[in-house]
Amino acid sequence: MPDRFPPLNALRAELAAGRTSSRALTERALDAALTSSEAAATFVAVHAAQARATADAIDAQRAAGVPLPPLAGIPISVKDLFDEAGQVTRAGSRVLSDAAPAAQDCPVVSRLRAAGAVIVGRTNMTEFAYSGLGLNPHYGTPRNPWDRGVGRIPGGSSSGAAISVTDGMAAAGIGSDTGGSVRIPSALCGLTGFKPTARRVPLDGVLPLSFSLDSIGPLAQSVACCALLDAVLAGEAPVTPAPAPLAGKRFWLPRTLALDGLDDTVARAFDAACRALSQAGARLVDLDVPEFAELAHLNRQGGFTAAEAWWWHADLIAQREAQYDPRVSSRIRRGAAITAADYLTLQRARARWIATLSARLDGDLLLMPTIPVVAPAIAPLQASDDAYTQTNLLILRNPTFINFLDGCALTLPCHVPGEAPVGLMLAGCGGQDARVLAAGAAVERVLGDTHR
């Protein structure tokens, strides 16, 4: 496996003690971003000169004894749909290559800079964020760090964000999550990823996929890393979540769809994680979730994603459809058939769905595999539209439940080190972010003890 950076709090301690410098960390990230086997398919732009200048400025401030913000001097990557002043926001597409550079940073980037982050570059992604697989015919597909000989998907749409972290090109990455686009690549690549309640982080200056479902979150090494980055993105004071007591804590195991179709590796890792949590005192309780079975019907016309993507893309598709990945444009086009009545019906149905499911969960968290299968090989998905479509639906299935819920969710690695990465998802209703992170810190500790 490639050489990753330590967790963020460890880097902060090293910097504070003078055992490393921001310039050293930045050079390490840039070296990987320019020389890794996956570098060309991971970044669409590397900000080498700007990153070095930022790192040197932070090192000078530290030497002068200036109080520094929480991410000061730490290299971070951002997905290619966040506006950065002077950069073209392409969203992984050739369609926007001649667009004007952004006039200003979006709030996400502004908050990262204010927190002292060294932004090393813009990461590749599924075109316009419209797939959970991470394939990109325009800029290439970075390979999963597991089994690179075969060449497996990184997961999407935040594909480059994940690989920038696994391959040491950044200490953490910032992605978006509309149907799992932070959690899927995190799970498939052995990272921790957090999808917050959507309203926590402003979407201004972020190229949209679905403004009803889009959310912004981190991909990193640990729950504490995700909590720190989430606080920065949300404009809150950083905190390290204290692990919530697990003794007597109830987690729901959804028996409707979420545990269907698990491959042997995922089933084995999930069962082992459940046993470890039970032994730690947690109560894992089976729950029928009929709302999960209803979601495919509610989204049968393409759902909010198709309707809202069509609203944004209609003129571009009319002018430049030949430049789109056809597997993306064909799904966007589904939105053209969705009427205003259809859209309003879906909005009302979602509100009822959220209310019913929230009452069923009774304030407790869901526990399920993030993805039902390990990362599939890239080549068969490139070769077959049917394989691409069916695999994409399967991989998006569990994460999508939480986006439609307007909830929050954390994915944690739960596999045995050295085996194929498997993600364990903890999810709650909207506004339960702190509770999910605290529970995740406790689960992370138990899983770490199990795998030592």
Active site residues: 79, 157, 181
In sequence order, the 6+-apart residues with CB closer than 8 A to the CB of 447 are: 273, 276, 412, 413, 414, 424
How far is 224 from 240, CA to CA, in rounded Å? 6
* Spatial distance between the Cα atoms of 133 and 154, rounded to a whole number of angstroms: 7
Radius of gyration of the chain (CA): 21
CB 174 within 8 A of CB 82: yes
Burial class (CB in 10 A: 0-12, 13-18, 19+), 182: buried
Nearest alpha carbon to residue 309 among 334, 287, 291:
334
92, 285, 328 from 376: Cα distances, Å:
21, 31, 20
- CA–CA separation, 426 vs 188, rounded Å? 16
In DSSP terms, which residues pair with 219 in a beta bridge? Answer: 173, 193
Q: How far apart are CA 382 and CA 9, in angstroms?
A: 39
Bridge pairing between strands 365-369 and 423-428: antiparallel
Separation in Å, CA 179 to CA 413, 436, 443: 19, 18, 23
Token pair for 444: 């992370």
Beta strands 283-287 and 365-369 are unpaired
Residue type, 28: R
Is residue 248 helix, strand or coil? Answer: coil
DSSP annotation string for 149-179: TT-B---SSSHHHHHHHHTTS-SEEEEE-SS
Quote the strand ranges of 113-237, DSSP E: 118-123, 172-176, 192-195, 216-220
CA distance 381 to 392: 9
- Count other C-beta atoms under 10 Å from residue 319's C-beta: 10
Cα distance from N-terminal residue to C-terminal residue, the chain:
18
